[in-house]
Each structure stands twice: as structure tokens, then as C-alpha cells.
Amino acid sequence: MAQEIWEIVFMFLKAFAVGGTICTIAQIIINITDITAGKILVYFMLAGVVLTAVGAYQPLVDFAGAGATVPISGFGYLLANGAIKGAERGFFYAMTGALSAASAGVTAAVVFSFLASLLFKAHTKPN
């Protein structure tokens, strides 16, 4: 029982360390450059795609779990992984595999955003 608890704690520590490192890198880029947040998100998503294509992101996911899949680079990993698995079935599936793999997450984001818009009133951010 005690060993199972330590395994869970270690799993959380690994996820926090990897996810925190990814976020720290993004924050450093924000602080030292004039790159907009939107561009940084796209770069990190593309980094996830490229790292998945060369086989470097899967070991990170195997090691850190949610620490590697929750950040935006994990979305790139998800899209690339879906396309790669779809390509095993043919060209059409390579094109639709990424969308199939990400459909649950995108649907949840749209639904919860809509629900939040019903609950809260939008306002302009004061400068």
C-alpha cells in the first residue's frame, strides 16, 4: 500500500516537473522576446508535431503522462499521433486521423466555452 502511494506521488512529481518546464520555457520566451502569445502557442503546438514526427515526444509522454499531454505541445502530439496512426490505413485516414484523435478535446472546449458564455457577462479589460 505504501509503495503504491509513493508511485502515485512520483507520477505527480514527474508530471509537474515536465509540464512546469514546458510552461517555464514559454514564460521565458514571453519575457525576453516581443513574440505574441498566439504565435508562441502555435510554435509550441508545431514543436509537439515535429517532436512526435521524429519520435522524441512519445518517450516524454511515457515518462510524464499528463505533464506532457496537457500543455499545448501535447495538442500537437495528439494531432500528429492521430495522423500517423491514420496513415497506416491510407491517405484519407492520414488526413482525418488528426481530427478524429482531437475531436473529444475540441468538442469539450467548445461546449464548456459556450456554457461559460451563458453564465458570465463579457466586458472589456481595463487598461
pLDDT of residue 127: 67
pLDDT of residue 60: 94
Predicted TM-score of the model (pTM): 0.79
Helix, strand or coil, per DSSP, at residue 87: helix
Q: What is the distance between the alpha carbons of residues 3 and 12, in angstroms, rounded to a whole number?
A: 14
Confidence of residue 42 (pLDDT cuts 50, 70, 90): very high
Closest to 79 (Cα-Cα) out of 95, 54, 99: 99
Q: What is the distance between the alpha carbons of residues 46 and 79, in angstroms, rounded to a whole number?
A: 10
User: pLDDT of 47-92, one tens digit each?
Assistant: 999 999 999 999 999 999 999 998 999 999 999 999 999 999 888 8
Q: What is the distance between the alpha carbons of residues 98 and 67, in angstroms, rounded to a whole number?
A: 21
In the 8-state DSSP scheme, what is residue 90?
Answer: -
User: pLDDT of 90-113, one tens digit each?
Assistant: 888 888 888 888 888 889 889 999
Q: What is the largest CA-CA distance in the chain?
A: 53
Task: Tell me: pLDDT of 45 over 70.
Answer: yes
